[in-house]
A and B are shown apart, each in its own frame.
Chain A
Amino acid sequence: MSQTLNIQNGKIVTVPEVATIEEIRDEIREVKTFYLSIDNKEIWNNFKYRSGQFIMCTIFGAGEFAVSLPPSPENDRFHITVRTVGKVTSALHALKPGDKVGLRGPFGNGFPFDEFKGKNLVYVAGGIGLIPLRSSIVHALQYKKDFGRVLVLHGARTPDDLMYKENLKEWQGFDGFETYITVDVPTPDWKGETGFVHTLFDKANLPIENTIAFVCGPPVMFNTVIGELMKRGLSDENIYSTLERHMKCGVGKCQHCAVGRTLVCTDGPVYTYRQIKTLGEEI
């Protein structure tokens, strides 16, 4: 049974659960990972979520923001990875281990992994677009026997902007897992690939038949990658992404995350490219 923190008997309860920051790790410039645990042990022990879902995080005195969730609790400590972009995320970055935050969630649909069984999985991530995909990658790692080839292609602006470098190295070691990395602007000591992330497709001998692709990153990268995937013959219904929108309530009431005739919080955040095309809105 999954526990939703602010839904009780189908009613939305406005009070967040209090959680403690246990540890903070620096990732890249402006990005930190916060390891959290919910103070109420009963709720904490029953707290489960699906890969691809998100949570609303309250920073007391500053406000609330939406953030994608880590891999499921069996194989990773609960954490959120956040870049400073505005007032609330900056307030989070100013906190120290031991400080309290509030949590509501999990919300959203998550990735439909049952439909992916027996298929190749291709993850294409630009910059911090790897954060929302990471939970899905770890899921694939955990249930490796269910899938064919699993490829992770990660591009970033500079070598310093590469996310989860240790994870990428670690994943490379698993049987059937392949990781490819590229940067747009190399530093003098950079020995890897240079260029946008879709330039890795040939090198990776990208599978097309029986393949699901996950794409996440800034809008320009997103459109280029999707164009390239479709050109190679991947169908739009086999391309998945997670959308980002201004969110307030997380449960389909405030309407801020409306895109086309859907709401990102309840109908998303995971969409196929076929769905995205029908939304008729900018990504």
Chain B
Amino acid sequence: MEATVTTANNEEKTWGGGDNQPLGASYGKMMMWFFIVSDALTFSGFLGAYGFSRFKFIETWPLADEVFTHFPFMHGASAPMYYVALMTFILIFSSVTMVLAVDAGHQLKKTKVAFYMFLTIIGGFIFVGSQAWEWKNFIKGEYGAVETKGGSLLQFVDKEGKRVAIADFAVKLPEQREALTRNKTSWFMEDAETLSTYSVAEIQAGFKAHPELLIRTEKLTAEKKKTVLNRAESETRLQDARYVVEGANLTRNEYGSKLFADFFFFITGFHGFHVFSGVIINIIIFFNVLLGTYEKRRSYEMVEKVGLYWHFVDLVWVFVFTVFYLV
């Protein structure tokens, strides 16, 4: 024996932490668990911050079932929650195929592991794609609204309380905007906002021409519905309008509280990023399975470790689903 040989870890497992197995788990698996602990706390921080802001603006927070009403190929139909429920099923199902891959790995069945990994990857891609579609609808918006000088949001409804899109009643006034020519520009231009389809004046004129329209404010009534003003109140309120809001961005959104869109983008975006990186890691492991790396090791523990991460992503979605769409 050479003098440099260590006594404890001489079975080429030094990178895996040697033979010591504190808490009865291998080094990699235990570290994956503790990574998950820290990531879970990160997500809890985000969801807690969402709860903070929601409690702060509890009387004016948007109603989720009025925001997420789209379903593919069902134009105009209001289908609250169906789509997000579908996304939840897709993610749970990809969790099932993942756990089946882990299970097949225990029995060292290479083809089965590869097949289930493949299904998991497909499920992950479908989920990320669905989220992109959801974002697209959220950003594009449906009805449009106006913002007052005090920062509150006004939406338009008809006599029955049904939402009316601004495009349906706004009038086209002669163009008051001027094209910006080179000699009027400066090095640094502030307030270069994207122009909305209609100006505030066009909406005010259209509102005047349609006596059946009313304004709905952000304020929630005791029945957890938005307050609808009467015609006289609506007209005075609309005088304060300053911006036309179409769709959503990080500054303002047509659904209500500005923070609502910020949290939506941030939390679902961060979760979507986790799903995406999970898919990438799954692809790497999938190719390793095909190449027979784990077959040679006689251990599919790597599949188990990425499995832990993948289930964690599913776990987070369960909470995001509840907090954003149900409660």
Q: Do A and B bind each other?
A: no
